[in-house]
Amino acid sequence: MANQKIIDFDAYRAYFNDSDLWNKIKNVAKKAGIKVVYAALVLYYLAREGDIPLKEKVMIYGALGYFILPIDMIPDSLLVLGFTDDFAALGYALYMASKYVTPDIEAKAEAKLREWFGDFDRTEIAGLLPAACPSSE
């Protein structure tokens, strides 16, 4: 059981590209919610700028690729539930790679959130980056 993958990120990493990610976020930001968008932004900046192992980078791009895909386990068009699977994929990748997140990466993600959502209550994203995370090795 320990080697069983929760989400097969390898299957989705080929679907990641910058322009599709930005378009997806711009089109669904309000509907997906601030937590989903924040998780995607932190992962994006982490993969682009963070000094992280290849294993985590592949997982991040897989989670972002899953988020980009218009067809997934739970259709994004469903009210309330539409982005729960996307958030699960993004949240798991964020949890596993969060030990590499720097204050600079968090600041960039928050600045982009303010650009799209305006001022927001920081408690809305509190707890998405665990203080101590398991090693993904």
89 belongs to a structural domain: yes
15 belongs to a structural domain: yes
What value does the mean pLDDT of the chain take? 79
Residue 45, both tokens: 């900046």
Q: Among the ranges 9-13, 48-52, 73-77, 107-111, which has the highest mean pLDDT value? A: 107-111
2 belongs to a structural domain: no
137 belongs to a structural domain: no
Q: 78-121 pLDDT, tens per residue?
A: 555 567 788 888 999 999 999 999 999 999 999 999 988 888 88
The owner of tokens 């590209």 is: 17
**Can you say whether the dihedral through the CA atoms of 96, 128, 81, 83 is positive or negative?**
negative
Choice between 92 and 2, residue whose per-residue pLDDT is larger: 92
| Contacts with 83 (C-beta within 8 Å, 6 or more apart), sequence order | 28, 31, 32, 33, 36, 74, 76
33 belongs to a structural domain: yes
Total number of domains constituting the chain: 1
- The model's confidence at residue 10, banded by pLDDT at 50, 70 and 90, is low
The owner of tokens 């897989």 is: 62
Give the domain extent around 53: 9-119
pLDDT of 65 > 70? The answer is: yes
